[in-house]
Structure 1
Amino acid sequence: MRMRPTLSWTPTESLSPGTTDLRPVEEALSTGGVLVLSGAGISTESGIPDYRGEGGSLSRHTPMTYQDFTAEAQARRRYWARSHLGWRTFRHARPNDGHRAVAAFEQHGLLSGVITQNVDGLHQAAGAETVVELHGSLDRVVCLSCGDLSPRRELARRLEEANAGFAPVAAAINPDGDADLTDEQVGDFRVVPCMVCGGILKPDVVFFGEAVPPQRVEHCRELVRAASSLLVLGSSLTVMSGLRFVRQAAEGGKPVLIINRDPTRGDRHARTRVALSLGPALLAVADRLGVPATEGAAESA
């Protein structure tokens, strides 16, 4: 069995305990051109757990790696059984105040774009439009042989038909939509192939051990170059896929602001880290700026 991906950073390396002063965030947004980089922490208030915060799923759950998924049929059976069950819960998650505030900032011309490390689609559900899904989306499925893209709901229907009566009780749901199941609960779950070529289907997300597509990374780098500042929301920045944009912004002399309750790997590059819960913090900033960000604001803006 492959080991969990190793991490070279621990929160004790942070140089700052954080603050509760939101004024730097308010000032940055008031001038516009802010690029948002969001992580799992922005979705916890929607009932989706994060990876590394208090009670984060990495303390009890090893995410599927790309290498295991492509090499082992049993690994794919285990993944799709767990993901299929998790999807039933994951797809019903709804945007929270943090997502709605980001969408409202965008609609009022204060943002230059949104890069999200999340695969849940909640920024778009809240009304945000200029969203780059750095790690893909669970809403889509891709064939590893022919590249065909199809909706996740179509695969869910096929898996339901192939596994009638499959309804184990999961111990927990994880940020990647994966449910915690034992091998006994997985049983002889049936995996279905691509309808175009019969190839292996995979969610259109970047697994651990898999690289973000280079063209997507370059697009994000262009967004950083064009932004006036970078606002990080709910990301520990432990992995390089997000940290590289923080480093790029700092090296380019652009202010980096972070809202995250816990220390992050990017704190040393940031002008400030606000140690507050995201939903209330972003609503407070929106209120100060006169930007309506409550339920229904996206539809009425």
Structure 2
Amino acid sequence: MPEKFARAKELIAGAKKILVFTGAGVSTGSGIPDYRGPDGAWLKREPVLYRDFVSSTRSKVEYWKYKADTFPAFLAAAPNAAHKAIAALEKTGRLLALVTQNIDNLHRAAGTHTDKLIELHGSGLYAECLDCLNWTSMAEALDKFKADGAPPLCSCGGWLKPAVVMFGEPLDQESLVKAFKAAEDCDLAISAGSSLSVEPAASIPLSAKAGGKPYLIINRGPTAHDKAADIKLDGDACLLLPELLA
């Protein structure tokens, strides 16, 4: 590990256009559990599929109950050292883009500018209307839901949906194109806190490797890309990433 760590530091020190790709393991240090982790929601609830949410009032209620249960802890979370280290990297002018699978808003809260940030799976702080596509705050939408237990409606009369990508829902194409362009233009790809098992998001850092760019993975446990990585550091991304970027 010390030798790998030193090599990883050298890779980062020599890079000028770094793509950072983050997953749930970057936010566990802020008290947000990994969805697929040992205490993850996948063990407690069946996921609501996008097609069911759109077509079924019962599924809408189930999903809004889940959001009502988890939102207080989500709202109370604060950026940890990993989020802050990436924001500090941006200030050096060497962060090309930050692509995240997380919906917790903690990269923004740490100071990452929106022109560098690509939130592939949306934002958990907002709800969007399925009809007019306007956004409202998640807190306001949840207040409506708690008032009568019915799925909340937009002022236009359309159904509100949390502004996150649900299971079975396609990702925003503009965000995907921007992310893959960053992978093409970077001179180093770093994946932190992701098992790299969810597609098409996981293909973003891998495409940088396919283009001949060095690929560094930081994750506790195996990932789907371990064999492709130039260096794989096995450990807590919340602890290792700040040390690497210091």
> Which residue of the partner structure matches residue 181 of structure 2?
222
**What amino acid does structure 2 have at the position aligned with 1:191?**
P
What's the CA shift for 1:65? 1.2
> Which residue of the partner structure matches residue 11 of structure 2?
28
Distance 1:151 1:56 in 2: 25
What's the CA shift for 1:205? 0.9
TM-score by length of 2: 0.92
> Which residue of the partner structure matches residue 50 of structure 2?
66
What's the CA shift for 1:64? 1.8
Distance 1:192 1:56 in 2: 26
SS in 2 for 1:28: helix
What's the CA shift for 1:151? 2.0
The root-mean-square deviation of aligned C-alpha atoms, in Å, is 1.6
Distance 1:34 1:279 in 2: 18
Q: Which runs of 5+ in 2 are unaligned?
A: none
Alignment match of 1:258 (pick from 195, 217, 223): 217
> Which residue of the partner structure matches residue 196 of structure 2?
237
> Which residue of the partner structure matches residue 138 of structure 1?
124
Identical amino acids, percent of aligned pairs: 35
Tell me the alpha carbon deviations over residues 216-270 of structure 1, each in whole angstroms, 9 at most, x when there is no partner: 1111111111111110010001111222113311210111110001100011221
**What amino acid does structure 1 have at the position aligned with 2:192?**
L
Alignment match of 2:243 (pick from 279, 284, 290): 284
Q: How does 1:2-151 map to 2 (within 5 A)?
A: 19=1, 21-31=4-14, 32-129=16-113, 130-151=116-137
Q: Which runs of 5+ in 1 are unaligned?
A: 1-18, 164-188, 288-301
What's the CA shift for 1:158? 2.9
Whose radius of gyration is greater, 1 or 2? Answer: 1
TM-score by length of 1: 0.76
SS in 1 for 2:202: helix
The alpha-carbon distance between structure 1 residues 159 and 52, as it changes in their structure 2 partners (threshold 3 A), is closer
> Which residue of the partner structure matches residue 293 of structure 1?
none
Instruction: Write out the 4+ residue segments of structure 1 that deviate beyond 6 Å after TM superposition.
Output: none
- On the 8 A contact 1:230/1:256 being kept in 2, the answer is yes
